[in-house]
Structure formats: structure tokens, C-alpha cells
Amino acid sequence: MNALRAILDKETRTVVGLMSGTSMDGIDAAALRIRGSGAGTVVELIDFVCVPYAKGLRNELRDLAAGGSVPALSALDFRLGREFAGAALSVIDRAGLNPQQVDLIGSHGQTVYHNPPSSAQNEPSTLQIGELDVIAKLTGITTVGDFRPGDMAVGGEGAPIVPYVDFVLFRREGVVKIAQNIGGIANATLVTEALGEVRAFDTGPGNMLMDAVLTAATGGREWFDADGAYASKGRVNKRLLEELLSHPFFSKPPPKTTGAEVFGMEMAGALYGRVAAGGMGLNDLIRTLLELTVESIALAYEGNFLPHYSVSEVILSGGGALNPLLVRRLEERLAPLPVVKSDEYGIPVDGKEAVAVAVLANELISGNSAGLPSVTGAEKRAPLGKIALGERF
């Protein structure tokens, strides 16, 4: 294991983080310099790039998540490995580096199935694809990934996995903050001074339902509401909003996690059916779903965080932070609680999760356990991730 020892002995490591979320729209790649590990980690972003999936690949992934075949699953696992390797090489080149200067890659992969213990359905399990060995062999760089199973193996939800990193990135003495990511699914982390007091859970759909409805409405020509253009022309259907908020997920106490299995294509199809049948306009539906994201986040804070902690600010990241209407409505709903973007901490809103994956890879290599039982309900803290050795080994 001399190659791993060589990485460990470095005071500062160059690490690439790769992330593709529940929106299935592409791969975020971040190149970082990471000094140290654990609570003393110092992160410097070198560069960031988003590599979109081709439309055909995006459709294949969504078909697979809806129930594809084993051959299709196996083929996409390796194909995505090549896509992730390409994204890694792209950000390395953009950063003015060469692969020999990169110590480590962290890859989250693409989630195609997640069934946590809280779902109480069948055997709890999770599956992210994008073969690690393909990434390691095509780049020559040791690659760490498959972070969720380690937590689920000890009874945890396997999500969210970013709260440990939120603690590392945003912890400040004497203050409590909320790190709010709005990707396909929205999740919130209560960042406290002590790691053992950190709390986090999925608050519900972020962009997922809006994206899926718009994809259905446009036949795939558009797959997200750019700048909130559709929602800005619509009005909230209060009756539908109340109906959606009555979903049992929102009243379920943490720990809890969710995804496309609950707020995915099936629910979106039923909602779009109301538009297709002439029951409501598309703009009104998208606007109502935006309000669902905002209201579910606010209710999660009011039910779990704000009665017990004096929160100084909300740090917003994820694709939802690029939607001006969504940000404005969240600011209005949470006022007077300040809402800032992660850019103010040197982390681009659309790159924060890729940064987090790089930090998680660094933690595993350093021998640290990034699992948080206070977040996922696991029986104990567990190391998160597996290692695929690069050619320099």
C-alpha cells in the first residue's frame, strides 16, 4: 500500500470531486487542494466545471431508474464510468494540471435506486453507478466512491452524506447555521459547534418534480425551468399545495431521506396529467411545485431546528440557488433569517456537492469515519467509501 502511503504523507493533496445528483442532468467536477483532514480540513477550490449528459444518456438513466433490465444496468455502469473519467480529465485540464499532479478522485456516481430503512419496504439498499475501476484506469488516478452503502450496512439511511462536510466547511465557533442544498431533492444540515450535535435530513423535493413535469410537457426539449421563467408566469394553486404537503413524508420525523422513488416520474406524471386534461395551466403547476419546495423547507426548519437553536443564517447551494424566484421566495418565507449563497464561502452553489465528494474521499484515505449516526440513524459511525487503485499503484 505504498501508493496510498505516499498520498497520506502529503500535507496538501490535490483532489477531484465528481457528483451527479437526482436531477440526472450531468456531472459536476471540482478540482481542490485539501490540507489536513477531519475538523481541521482546509479546502481551496482550484476550478469547477459541469459536464451535461447527452439527451440520449439522460433518457436512458431515467428509464433505468423507472425499472430497466440487468444488461442495461451493467452497460450503463461502465458507460458512466467513462463519462465520469472524462469529466475528471476535463476539470484537471481546465485547472491547468495534468493527471500526474492529482492525488485522488472522489466520485459519488449516479444514484439509480435508493431504498432506505425508513421506507419499510423490502431489503434496505442503495445503488450508485459509474464504475470506479473504469474511472481509475482511464485517468490513472486512485478513485474513491460508493459512499452510501457503508452507512446503510450499519442501519443508517445512507443519506444525506454531506452533513459531515457541511460541518467541516461551515462550522464557526459560537454560531449555528443551516446549510441548505436544493438539488433534485432538498436537504438541510444544522451546523453546530460539536460534530455529535449536527442534524440533517431531506426536506422533500427540490427541483425534481418541476424538472420532471417540464420534461414531460416539452417532450424532453427542456428539462429544467431556466431562471424560473415558467414559474414566474404562474400562480400558486393553494388547494394543490395543501394536498401535496399532506404527503406523509413531510410529517415523518428525522432521520429520513427520499428521492425519485417518492417524488420522481410517477408523481410528476400524475401531476402533469392535470395539465394535459385541462385542469390547470403548466405555469401554475410549476409555480405551485416551486412553492412546495419553499414551504416544505420552511416547515422543516420550524418543526425541527428553529424552536431549539438560534440560527444565524442559511447557506444555500445546489441548482435551486440559480433560480431567482425560488431564492426570493425562500428569503421571503424565512425572513428575518438571512439567506446567503455558498459562493460567499468560496464554494460555487452548483459545485458544492462535488466539493463535498472530494472531501469525503480525502476522509476515507485519511482513515476517518464520515458517517454520522445523529443524521442517518445508523448504529455507529462508519467509514464511507471504497477504493479503486490507479495505475501509479
Least confident of 29-38, 185-194, 223-232, 256-265: 256-265
Give me the mean pLDDT over the 373-392 stretch.
Answer: 92
Residue scoring higher pLDDT (175 or 63): 175
Class of domain 170-345 (CATH, top level): alpha beta
22: pLDDT strictly greater than 80: no
Distance CA 134, CA 131 (A): 5
> How far is Cα 16 from Cα 136, in angstroms, rounded to an integer?
12
Q: With cut-offs at 50, 70 and 90, classify the pLDDT of residue 260.
A: confident
Sign of CA dihedral 63, 65, 66, 68: positive
Question: pLDDT by residue (tens digit) across 180-203?
Answer: 999 999 999 999 999 989 999 999
Which CATH homologous superfamily contains domain 2-161+350-388? ATPase, nucleotide binding domain (3.30.420.40)
Q: Measured between alpha carbons, how far is 348 from 48 in angstroms, rounded to an integer?
A: 8
Q: What average pLDDT does the chain have? A: 93
Per-residue pLDDT, 7: 85
How far is the CA of 207 from the CAs of 32, 63, 342, 351, 387, in angstroms? Answer: 27, 19, 18, 16, 31
Nearest to 57 by CA among 47, 65, 46: 65
Task: Choose the weakest-confidence range: 32-36, 61-65, 93-97, 174-178.
Answer: 61-65
pLDDT value at position 59? 83
Residue 1 confidence class, pLDDT cut points 50, 70, 90: low
- What is the predicted pLDDT for the residue at 393? 53
Domain with CATH 3.30.420.40 in the chain: 2-161+350-388, 170-345
CB 110 within 8 A of CB 130: yes
What pLDDT was estimated at residue 182?
96
Which of the two residues, 126 and 23, has the higher pLDDT score? Answer: 126
pLDDT value at residue 392: 65
pLDDT surpassing 80 at residue 23? no
Identify the pLDDT of residue 170: 94
pLDDT of 239-253, one tens digit each?
A: 999 999 999 999 999
| 99-157 residue pLDDT tens | 999 999 999 999 988 899 988 788 999 999 999 999 999 999 999 999 999 999 999 99
pLDDT at 79: 96
How do residues 294-345 score in pLDDT, each as one tens digit? 999 999 999 999 999 999 999 999 999 999 999 999 999 999 999 999 999 9
pTM > 0.85: yes or no: yes
The CA-based dihedral angle spanning residues 309, 311, 316, 320, taken in that order and rounded to the nearest 10 degrees:
60
pLDDT score, position 273 = 94
Q: Where is pLDDT greater, at 202 or 55? A: 202
Of residues 298 and 2, the one with the higher pLDDT is 298
